[in-house]
Amino acid sequence: MTAITIDHVSRSFGTVRAVDDVSLEIRDGEFFTLLGPSGCGKTTLLRTIAGFADLTAGQIRFGDRRIDTLPPHRRNTGMVFQNYAIFPNLTVGGNVAYGLKARSVPDGQMRERVSRALKLVHLDGYTERWPHQLSGGQLQRVAIARCLVIEPEVLLLDEPLSNLDAKLRVEMRAEIRQLQQQLKITAIYVTHDQEEALAMSDRIAVMRSGRLEQVASPQAIYRAPATPFVAEFMGTTNLLSGTIAGRDGETLRIQVGQQEFRAHGDGRQGETVTFSLRPETVRLLAPGESAPAGWSVLHTDLAHVEFLGAITRLDLAVGNGATLRVASLDVLPDELKARGRISAAYDPRRVTVFRNG
């Protein structure tokens, strides 16, 4: 296993800094994800680790060994590309063996390692098949086997599932994660898909404009976003602005339109703050129902409702044109419309406050 140190790394293209002073410590055997929108620098950072892009500044180390000065073939990394990069003129076995031939591995050992790698990705018996005879998921497995057969220290994956259909993506992400845990190999995974990152990762680095916005576990990234950008990027949220009207102990009172929200956080009376509240953390109260102890209650009008089967999405008017989005299970729109005013409760501890400026 290999720990990776990315130390103040930058990569520029002319006047554009695609990666801007990024520092990371990736642990032995960790599944680490670089997540962000297109153009945020995540693939460029991955390519600097693989050796396909030179650094403008900084260093990269595998353990105690500096690798950013080495050519790609001496870094002992395996990279899985978005477009698979399978050679159409070689069989499955030929594709998987390609890296071993380049390393002059003896034929007998080569056949044994190719067979073992294909078995790992559930393609044993496919050695003589041609790429055009395979499905997209099978081609991706060949690409992974081709990386694993050279026994790399680090596995690098650049949006490897983006060309697959939704059902196969879910299946393949589980397989990749299981394989990484089985081999105990350090893996760096690039994606723009938030669900993929949450489902697969030990830790996630959210990137924006070449810089790190937050590095944390999936749970912390989702439940305690460090910035408004992370809160919005990691799924649906209510991102509202209001003025601190006061505080009761450790609880802030934030005025938004005609409603007063409560949150745990820092701030001074009169200060304008932005806060995040996830739609699924808001609970609709039935007529006469009390909120759990310590929760706050809003009494609002229903602005919009959308029935999606198991989930009903609704917007509650909080004043000044602002709405609070709520996602609720097993609630029928006709029942909500018949209530008139809607009562909704939330736990102030689930509100994340961002101080403006």
Q: Would you state the pLDDT for residue 357?
A: 61
Cβ count near 207 (within 10 Å): 26
Q: Would you state the pLDDT for residue 84?
A: 83
Average pLDDT over residues 167-184: 92
Pick the closest to residue 276 from 349, 224, 194, 351 (CA basis): 351
> Taking a C-beta distance cutoff of 8 angstroms, is the pair 159, 191 a contact?
yes
Residue in the block written with tokens 């959308």: 306
Q: What is the dihedral of CA 138, 107, 109, 157, to 10 degrees?
A: -30
Mean pLDDT lowest among 17-31, 128-142, 329-343: 329-343
> Taking a C-beta distance cutoff of 8 angstroms, is the pair 1, 23 a contact?
no
Residue 83: is its pLDDT beyond 90? no
Pick the closest to residue 322 from 262, 255, 251, 230 (CA basis): 255
What DSSP letter does each residue of 15-56 carry, written as one string? TEEEEEEEEEEE-TT-EEEEE-STTSSHHHHHHHHHTSS--S
| End-to-end C-alpha distance for the chain, whole angstroms | 42
Average pLDDT over residues 42-54: 96
Average pLDDT over residues 35-52: 96
Average pLDDT over residues 44-69: 96
Helix (H) or strand (E) holding 289: none
pLDDT tens column, 308-334: 998 999 999 998 788 999 999 988 898
Residue 131, C-beta contacts closer than 8 angstroms, at least 6 positions apart:
86, 87, 88, 90, 92, 95, 139, 142
Strand-strand pairing, 186-191 and 31-35: parallel
Write out the two tokens for 105: 């591995």
* Mean pLDDT across the chain: 94
For the entire predicted model, the pTM comes to: 0.92
Kindly tell me the burial class for residue 36, based on how many C-beta atoms sit within 10 Å of its own C-beta (0-12, 13-18, 19 or more). buried
> Taking a C-beta distance cutoff of 8 angstroms, is the pair 322, 274 a contact?
no
Q: Would you state the pLDDT for residue 107?
A: 93
Q: Which phi and psi angles does 243 have, rounded to 5°?
A: -110, 135
For the beta sheet containing 31-35, the strands, ordered from the edge strand earlier in sequence to the opposite edge, are: 77-80, 154-158, 186-191, 31-35, 203-208, 211-216
Q: Would you state the pLDDT for residue 1?
A: 61
Residue 300: is its pLDDT beyond 90? yes
Q: Would you state the pLDDT for residue 82?
A: 86
Can you give the residue ranges of every domain in the chain?
A: 4-233, 238-355
Report the alpha-carbon distance of residue 45 to residue 34 in Å, rounded: 9
Beta bridge partners, 25, equal: 5
pLDDT tens column, 127-170: 999 999 999 999 999 999 999 999 999 999 999 998 888 888 99
Quickly name the fold that domain 238-355 has. OB fold (Dihydrolipoamide Acetyltransferase, E2P) (2.40.50)
pLDDT tens column, 241-299: 999 999 998 899 999 988 999 999 889 999 999 999 999 999 999 988 999 999 999 99
> Taking a C-beta distance cutoff of 8 angstroms, is the pair 163, 83 a contact?
yes
Q: Would you state the pLDDT for residue 250?
A: 87
Average pLDDT over residues 304-309: 93
Q: Confidence class of residue 336 from pLDDT cuts 50, 70 and 90?
A: confident
Is 238-355 in the same CATH topology as 4-233? no
Q: Would you state the pLDDT for residue 304?
A: 93
What is the CATH class of 4-233?
alpha beta
